[in-house]
Structure 1
């Protein structure tokens, strides 16, 4: 692959905070970014150009592609048709295959299972009758999730008793879904892996991820021993997934640490919330390594820069305490520039380093 040198323009599909942090990393090594999205968002504050248009607008997409030297995306729900429309005009990294797999939950789980990964028991359900039948096989407790879209606990319903089937089916609005059985685990963690065009990879130490109300609250390293002992196996699976997808960029796989080894939960074909600690906590952040990968530059070191690193998400009103975080020794505040605070909304994060 030909290296895309600094001074070039990187197109980003999506205008959220991940695009913003990608743009900051790109600017640090001399790239410009051009954001394409249906609405203005945090990424626009630091972009060189912005195209506000729908992902279905072919003429706008084509003009955007012509203005960019490479295109990436900051969220996994970009319509495949949008990528297909520009893939012959500009390099798109990661490619379409990653989205084809990640956008459909049962396809994703089967894909990872076929590569040797462990998954929770699951079944696709397209009707209430199918949900009732699946519950008889998988049992309860279980989680019903829509097969596409949904994140941070959205598009999901917990089922503790088969009698709750109709209520859960109504909660997901009768959309095609997947029923997942529960897994007994001690901790949740993730593997953040970067893969270059030549197939070389590097991964970060796995953070221990702690959630509140289905939203990531804390990610910290070093991880407890229960996670550290499963790092090698989980990272090897992430490498196989990236290779099978012919992936270029940063990919995240989430896992449960169980007595039988790591159990795959889900993947994100992009930079990931649980990797935000790497901005100050690693020699090369996940965002810079994504930019390096898609531009054909050498991947950077993923070694930690501190003995302990903790990233805390600032959800809703947490962000109003910005003065407290700024006054805290060893803390690094990141606010995303969102104009409206809402309950459950990620407004920023703070990273704490212990050296």
Structure 2
């Protein structure tokens, strides 16, 4: 369906006097923010998600409450929608194949399938000419025995269904590697060599059906226990040469995939002078996410177009323009840990700070490690944004950065 895309005239009412409807597979916070961006532009929306109280389903015009592979649910989605997207990479690629045969679907099933499998993902990154950490694929006992010693210490990652630190084990010795693979039930894995890291960053690009591509400037990220904790988005967060290298790599990856939609590429920045730098360069690609990304949430408040605005535009075949950032920004993830013993965080004190934007996702159960919302601080300078974000973190009991 790549040649059958919506035209700009599809905004608002169509020729039959009915509103054009966009669909999204998945009902989490990313789907919720996509739905809200689409509705601002006049679209009706449909969410397919099995959860009766999914954050996106609660705010959408329609919520199809079925499993992602349910044939009747998929038919309903196709009947209601002019085009369909997804909000997380673990939507079954088979469902996207079905949808893509009848409606413009972005990203494509092929792109999502690659992102769902670290083994395929590594191969695609190699084809795109971007550097990755030294790694080995482990699918059998023979593969395990053949792992080179110089890949240790490393991180063993399941090839599928790993996110927010899940499905990952740090290993220092061959014995630890064997035990970790056994603990992961012997599923296909990738062992990545641990590199000396100075920082982590990500780049979000949006690519249209016609191959046009725009991007946001790289954002610098801090993870804790495998979950994004802080994103710093302003010009001074990375040297210009590194920023340009990251943007070029992200666009190469999107182009090689013939990708349509919003794509996030996460990078490791190697420590200056590390022995790997001569062969790998200053940046190493960690992974890609075929959707808007947690590290891009600041764009809702600090840019003239958000990542979700661009998701709507790419899906609907609307013009893409280079987004402009008007404020320095720092984003803090708000996890369920903040609701200690059922006590509500100190929102009044936080909202009294200048430039603070609170986004809560409508989730009714606050569990440890669960993403409940985010806080973005915007300011005229990076120093002001960081200072206010540190004040907010202190008020909320979040670890300083």
* TM superposition score category, shorter chain reference: over 0.9
**Residue of structure 2 in register with 1:213 after alignment:** 225
- Aligned partners of 1:207, 1:47: CA distance in 2, in Å? 30
TM-score, normalized by length of structure 2?
0.84
Distance in 2 between residues matched to 1:346 and 1:178, nearest whole Å = 26
1:31 and 2:51 are equivalent in the alignment: no
2:169 to 157, 160, 167: 157
TM-score, normalised with respect to structure 1: 0.95
Counterpart residue number, 1:127:
140
Aligned to 1:342: 367
Q: CA deviation at 1:165?
A: 2.1
Aligned equivalent of 2:11: 5
Partner of 1:247: 259
> 1:271 touches 1:290 (CA, 8 Å); kept in 2?
yes
* Structure 2 portions without partners, runs of 5+: 13-18, 273-280, 381-401
Structure 1 position 226, deviation (Å): 4.4
In the aligned structure 2, how far is the partner of 1:2 from the partner of 1:340? 38
260-269 vs 320-329, which moves further: 320-329
Whether the 8 Å CA contact 2:215–2:322 is kept in 1: the answer is no
- Post-superposition shift, 1:130? 2.7
Question: Distance in 2 between the 1:324 and 1:174 partners?
Answer: 49
Larger-Rg structure: 2
Does the 8 Å CA contact 1:143/1:180 hold for their aligned counterparts? yes
Decide which of 33, 43, 58 is 2:71's aligned counterpart.
58
Q: What's 2:129 paired with?
A: 116
Question: Equivalent residues in 2 for 1:154-233 (5 A)?
Answer: 154-222=166-234, 224=236, 226-233=238-245
The residue number in structure 2 matching 1:311 is 331
Q: 1:103 aligns with which of 113, 116, 120?
A: 116
Matching residue of 2:282: 261
CA shift digits 1:177-225 (9 cap, x unpaired): 1111112221110110011222111111111000111100011122556
* 1:263-342 paired onto structure 2 within 5 Å: 263-306=284-327, 308-318=328-338, 320-321=344-345, 322-342=347-367
Which structure 1 residue ranges, 4+ long, deviate > 3 Å from structure 2? 223-228
| 2:386 corresponds to | none
Cα distance in structure 2, aligned partners of 1:49 and 1:16: 15
1:128 CA displacement: 4.7
Residues of 2 paired with 1:242 and 1:172: CA distance? 31
Point out the more displaced range, 216-225 or 79-88.
Answer: 216-225
Cα shift at 1:327: 2.5
Distance in 2 between residues matched to 1:205 and 1:70, nearest whole Å:
28
CA contact (8 A) 1:191 1:206 kept: yes
Deviations 1:288-336 (A, max 9, x none): 1110111111124421111x20011001132632333322221100001
1:44 to 34, 42, 57: 57
- State the Cα distance separating 1:113 from its structure 2 match: 1.5
